[in-house]
Amino acid sequence: MSLQKINARTIVLILMIVAAAAMRFVSYKFPYVLSNFTPVGAIALFGGAYFTDKWKAYLVVLVTLFASDVVINYLYTSTWSFGYDGAIWIYLAFAIMVFIGSFIKKADVINVALGSLASVGVHWLIVDMPWVHDASIYPHTLAGYGQSLIAAIPFEKNMVFGDLIFCTILFGGFELAKSRYTVLRSQQELAV
């Protein structure tokens, strides 16, 4: 594959991820209605599925999420902060979502929906552990973990809806673009 094809594909993937991440700022403006209705899970799956060099998937997704977190933290607190309580666990969950996305070899409705549900499950089980957040209102016990999981269901439901919509846009948009522009196809796709 020529350098031009690698660059065009990579640039388009990065631009799509950054554009989707910008939608996080819409949910900031409507925190109660759109809480957790964001593209972050879809971005992770999309990156994992389409970057041929998997290190690029992790790098682009996690750096994009970090940059948007910095801006969102500033919008909430009016101070620049580059971390927050439990951030390591949250980024671990998104790294696992990128890994899940790497198993999507054919971007059809079933594979993407299953990947999306698995990603939401990972987010739910990792991010809602009360012992990873110093300010958790739940006891740092298994019972507290259960309470936290139950309380998180409405937020995770919003994440399911957000993932399904943003996965449809990202995966569907890139598949459409690939069908029209061969420069966006991977070397494997061109070999078929």
Name the residue ranges covered by the structural domains of the chain: 3-187
pLDDT of residue 95: 97
Q: Confirm whether pTM is higher than 0.85.
A: yes
Q: Which residues contact 116 (CB under 8 A, 6 or more apart)?
A: 41, 42, 45, 160, 163, 164, 167
Max CA-CA distance within the chain?
Answer: 56
pLDDT of residue 1: 45
Q: Measured between alpha carbons, how far is 88 from 39 in angstroms, rounded to an integer? A: 19
Rg (CA), the chain: 17
pLDDT of residue 2: 47
pLDDT of residue 31: 67
Residue with tokens 């070999």: 191
pLDDT of residue 136: 73
Asked if 115 and 45 count as a contact pair (C-beta separation under 8 A), the reply is yes
Q: Measured between alpha carbons, how far is 64 from 95 in angstroms, rounded to an integer? A: 12
pLDDT of residue 3: 52
Q: Which residues contact 14 (CB under 8 A, 6 or more apart)?
A: 60
pLDDT of residue 32: 65
Q: Measured between alpha carbons, how far is 43 from 82 in angstroms, rounded to an integer? A: 21
Render pLDDT for 55-104 as a digit per residue (tens, 0 to 9).
999 999 999 999 998 988 888 777 887 777 778 889 999 999 999 999 99
Q: Which residues of the chain have pLDDT under 70?
A: 1-6, 28, 31-33, 134-135, 191-192
